[in-house]
């Protein structure tokens, strides 16, 4: 009942305010299934943000996702319900770090994961997500790239391409916690289980999984291969959201919670729409260059 009041209020506010809600796959099921208009992985959210016609965009996700939506919609109001919804990867690197990397490796292009601030994107040549990282790296037609800030994503992409990749030492606090012991225990306890690992996981985890891909790629795999029993080594809400649509499949946990994604609730989405909080603004000197990096990725 508590949820129902907020859901009804949010649906009414969306109509009154000509607003849409973008929700990442890691949002809890009541947000993902009951109030979101657009859902997906980081790449899908960026692509779809570029086509939104509503005047107000609420991002049910983390701050870098709201910044990306604002970069692509400079004349719209973009709201993030909790300013504390950050990301350990985005926090691991600054614009100054990227400038120093360029000095150390002159002429080597910088590929930047979207899990970064707009200021870091502004110092970059092109962005990528986990859904297109290899294609972005190879699109540059060079033998060597710098890829920031996720060390594990960089190593996992390097395993699949001839391009040499210079990595940074950032990690996702959710995915870095999966261990080989987790995988051994899973295979012992659930014979025949299919293991899907997000590419932010350590390389030894990805190497032991049947499949690795972005959250959208994991969903595609489940729908295409229809495994009897599967584990998604990623954030907990991912399995919850996919399991709702696929009751015939057994979803085994473990999973890890992202404390940043979990700061977004129905209550603060409602408050965001009622009180315009918190409006995302990006300094003009940063926005133009950051937008170019995102649009270059989207144009591929
Ligand atoms: P994707 O949804 O792009 O796979 O990203 C995962 C993630 O950790 C986003 O914060
Ligand atoms: Fe950042 Fe990891 Fe949380 Fe995604 S899951 S927002 S990469 S800390």
In angstroms, what is the span from residue 229 Cα to ligand 1's centroid? 23
Specify whether 94 is located in the same domain as 167: yes
For residue 231, the enclosing domain spans: 175-252
Residue 1: its pLDDT value, please? 63
| Residue 240 Cα to chain centre, angstroms | 17
**Edge-first strand listing for the sheet containing 194-197:** 211-212, 194-197, 229-233, 250-252
- CB atoms < 10 A from the CB of 140, how many? 15
Within this chain, do residues 97 and 74 fall inside the same structural domain, yes or no? Answer: no
**286 part of a folded domain:** no
Ligand 1, from 127, 198, 256: best to mutate by most atoms within 8 Å of Cβ? Answer: 198
Listed in sequence order, the residues at least 6 apart from 20 whose beta carbon sits closer than 8 Å to its beta carbon are: 14, 37, 38, 52, 54, 56, 57, 58
pLDDT tens, residue by residue, 69-114: 999 999 999 999 999 999 999 999 999 999 999 999 999 999 999 9
Does residue 73 contact residue 57 with C-beta atoms inside 8 Å? Answer: yes
Q: Clarify whether residues 232 and 270 are in a common domain.
A: no
Its pTM stands at 0.97
Examine residue 294 and state whether it is found in any structural domain, yes or no: no
| DSSP β-ladder status, 77-79 and 110-113 | unpaired
Same domain, 22 and 43: yes
Does 78 share its domain with 6?
yes
pLDDT digits (tens, 9 = 90+) for 135-169: 999 999 999 999 999 999 999 999 999 999 999 99
User: Among the three residues 172, 188, 218, which one is the final residue of a domain in this structure?
Assistant: 172
Task: Give the torsion sign (CA, 148, 152, 155, 161).
Answer: negative
Of the candidates 167, 115, 173, 107, the residue with the CA atom closest to the CA atom of residue 140: 107
Q: Which of 27, 260, 262, 264 to mutate to test the pocket of ligand 2 (most atoms within 8 A of CB)?
A: 260
Beta carbon of 88 within 6 Å of any ligand 2 atom? yes
What are the tens digits of pLDDT across the range 228-271? Answer: 999 999 999 999 999 999 999 999 999 999 999 999 999 999 99
Nearest to 200 by CA among 218, 176, 226: 176
87 labeled binding residue: yes
Query: Burial, 277: exposed, middle or buried (Cβ in 10 Å; 0-12, 13-18, 19+)?
Result: middle
> Looking at ligand 1, which residue's alpha carbon is closest to its atom 10?
115
Residues in the chain: 300
Of all ligands present, the nearest one to the C-alpha of 24 is: 1
Please, are residues 68 and 117 in contact by the beta-carbon 8 Å criterion? no
Q: How far is the CA of 99 from the centre of ligand 2 (A)?
A: 24
How does pLDDT run across 32-79, given as a tens digit for each residue? 999 999 999 999 999 999 999 999 999 999 999 999 999 999 999 999
Q: Ligand 1, closest atom to CA 64?
A: 10
Mean of the per-residue pLDDT values for the chain?
Answer: 97
Residue 271 domain-assigned (yes or no) = yes
Here the tokens at position 235 are 């954030």
- Asked, for residue 208, whether it belongs to a domain, the answer is yes
Domain boundary among 232, 252, 272: 252
Domain count, the chain: 3
Distance from Cα 125 to the centre of ligand 2, integer Å: 23
Which of 115, 135, 196, 255 has most ligand 1 atoms within 8 Å of its beta carbon, as the pocket-test mutant? 115
Torsion-angle region of residue 118: left (phi > 0), alpha (psi -120 to 50) or beta? alpha
Q: Quick check: 283 pLDDT over 70?
A: yes
Using the 3D structure, point to which of 122, 147, 172 is the last residue of a domain. 172
Residue 237: the pLDDT is 97
Distance CA(205)–CA(180), nearest Å, equals 6
For residue 15, being part of any structural domain is answered with yes
User: Rounded to the nearest 5 degrees, what angle is found at the Cα of 250, between the Cα atoms of 247 and 228?
Assistant: 100
Q: Which ligand is closest to the CA of 171, given by its number?
A: 2
Instruction: Please indicate, yes or no, if residue 293 is contained in any of the structural domains.
Output: no
**Residue 135 CB partners (closer than 8 Å, separation 6+):** 300
Q: Are residues 71 and 115 in the same domain?
A: no
**275 within some domain:** yes
User: Does the residue 295 lie in any domain?
Assistant: no
Instruction: Please indicate whether residue 172, judged by its CB atom, sits closer than 6 Å to ligand 2.
Output: yes
Residues 38 and 95 in one domain: no
233 lines ligand 2 (CB under 6 A): no
Are residues 81 and 34 part of one domain? yes
Please indicate, yes or no, whether residues 53 and 27 belong to a single structural domain of this protein. yes
Same domain for 207 and 222, yes or no, is yes
Collapse the DSSP code of 27 into the 3-class scheme (helix H, G, I; strand E, B; otherwise coil) and give the result. coil
Same domain, 75 and 114: no
Specify the CATH number for the domain of residue 221. 3.40.50.10800
Examine the domain organization and report whether 51 and 99 are in the same domain.
no
CB 80 within 8 A of CB 59: yes
pLDDT tens-digit readout, 154-207: 999 999 999 999 999 999 999 999 999 999 999 999 999 999 999 999 999 999
């Amino acid at each position: 009942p508590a949820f129902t009041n907020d859901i009804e209020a949010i649906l009414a506010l969306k109509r009154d305010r000509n607003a849409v809600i973008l929700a990442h796959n890691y949002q809890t099921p009541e947000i993902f299934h009951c109030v979101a208009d657009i859902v997906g992985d980081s790449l899908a959210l960026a692509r779809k943000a570029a086509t939104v016609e509503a005047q107000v965009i609420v991002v049910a996700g983390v701050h870098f996702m709201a910044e990306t939506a604002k970069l692509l919609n400079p004349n719209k109001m973009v709201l993030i319900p909790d300013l504390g919804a950050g990301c350990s990867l985005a926090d691991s690197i600054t614009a100054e770090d990227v400038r120093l990397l360029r000095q150390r490796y002159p002429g080597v292009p910088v590929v930047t994961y979207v899990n970064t601030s707009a200021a870091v994107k502004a110092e970059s040549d092109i962005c990528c997500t986990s859904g297109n990282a290899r294609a972005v790296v190879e699109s540059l037609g060079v033998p060597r790239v710098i890829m920031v800030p996720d060390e594990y994503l960089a190593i996992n992409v390097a395993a699949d391409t001839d391009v040499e990749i210079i990595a940074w030492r950032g990690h996702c606090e959710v995915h870095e916690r999966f261990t080989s012991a987790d995988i051994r225990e899973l295979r012992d306890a659930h014979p025949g289980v299919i293991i899907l690992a997000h590419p932010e996981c350590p390389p030894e985890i990805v190497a032991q999984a049947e499949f690795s891909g972005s959250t959208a790629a994991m969903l595609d795999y489940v729908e295409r291969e229809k495994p009897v029993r599967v584990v998604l080594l990623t954030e907990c809400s991912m399995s919850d959201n996919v399991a709702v649509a696929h009751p015939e499949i057994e979803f085994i946990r473990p999973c890890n919670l992202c404390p940043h994604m979990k700061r977004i609730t129905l209550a603060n989405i409602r408050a965001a729409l009622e009180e315009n909080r918190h409006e995302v603004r990006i300094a003009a000197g940063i926005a133009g260059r950051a937008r170019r990096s995102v649009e270059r990725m989207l144009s591929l």
